[in-house]
Chain A
């Protein structure tokens, strides 16, 4: 017998994400889902961002990682509350995994919660985590071709942090081309140049977060 279901494959994830979104709205926590390839600089940028924000905001971080606790330790050293999710090889975080970590935080006390997703430009883009904002990090050494090669990621994020701009003089990355490619995929997205190690451009990113916090 043929049974028609016509059901969204991600329906379960989407209802878990809706639950999270409600929780985050109730506790007035700003939640940002950070996604990139492995090594683009998510943890380094978070360390610096926490330093910039720690005086004025209570920060929490959920660290998605295949197996280790290295990133969570780095975040704790920077002074934020960090909870690690090991996906045991899974290539993305889903809303149920995030929901399970929530009891580790007192959300009422967290102003800004960052989620460092598993390093991967494909899978994380499909999973809503109940966040207010999705931000992609692309780093200069990855090359110009990544935006056209991973259109779904860049279509579903509203801000791209172009990291490691300190390396621009040594590599053939072209920022204007990146902006053009990005606008071609997602006219609403913005590109922001930063260097998580030298701190260049981080001020603009921090202002973006503060504004997002005010309008959360």
Chain B
């Protein structure tokens, strides 16, 4: 759903840099997508495929999308252990109370691209 809008933002960020450097082509786009960032890797792939049909000058059908997954991790503020959160993000599996804070998994970044 909103992956179309997000991919639009991604292409805008890359497009500005591409223009600055006078590149004409982007071969590869690398994103960091956290597991709890609310962006779905499959939908991002699909959105890029759609943008490829919309004659964006620096995209062609071979532009590759690489998604680096950032695992969700949380730390309990009671026992200080780190854990992989399940659906109930804040519940520490050791203490069994909502004492955890997410420490990773929310990132959503354009990490890099390959241009020429």
Q: Which residues of A contact B (CB under 8 A)?
A: 1-13, 90-92, 94, 120, 122-123, 125-126, 148, 151-152, 155, 181, 183-187
Contact = CB atoms under 8 A, between A and B. Distances in A.
Interface of B: 1-2, 5-6, 9-10, 12-14, 17, 21, 23, 31, 36-39, 87-91, 98-99, 102, 108-116
Contacts of B39: 9, 126
Nearest to A90: B5
A159 B90 CA distance: 16
Contact of B17 (A3, A8, A181): A3
A124 to B, nearest CB: 9
Given A8-B108, A8-B109, A90-B5, A3 B114 contact: yes
A123 B2 contact: yes
A184 B111 CA distance: 32
B5 A187 contact: no
B13 A152 contact: no
Given A90-B5, A122-B38, A125-B38, A9 B88 contact: no
Contact of B116 (A1, A94, A152): A1
A123 to B, nearest CB: 4
Contacts, number: 101
Contacts of B23: 1
16 contacts: A1-B114, A2-B113, A2-B114, A3-B21, A3-B113, A3-B115, A6-B112, A9-B31, A91-B5, A122-B1, A148-B87, A152-B36, A181-B88, A184-B88, A186-B89, A186-B98
B88 A5 contact: no
B90 A9 contact: no
Contacts of B10: 9
Q: Which of B2, B21, B37, B108 has the most chain A CB within a 10 Å cutoff?
A: B2
Given A91-B2, A91-B5, A123-B38, 14 more contacts: A4-B112, A5-B17, A5-B111, A6-B109, A6-B110, A7-B110, A9-B31, A13-B9, A91-B1, A92-B2, A155-B36, A184-B88, A185-B90, A187-B99
Contacts of A187: 90, 98-99
A2 to B, nearest CB: 5
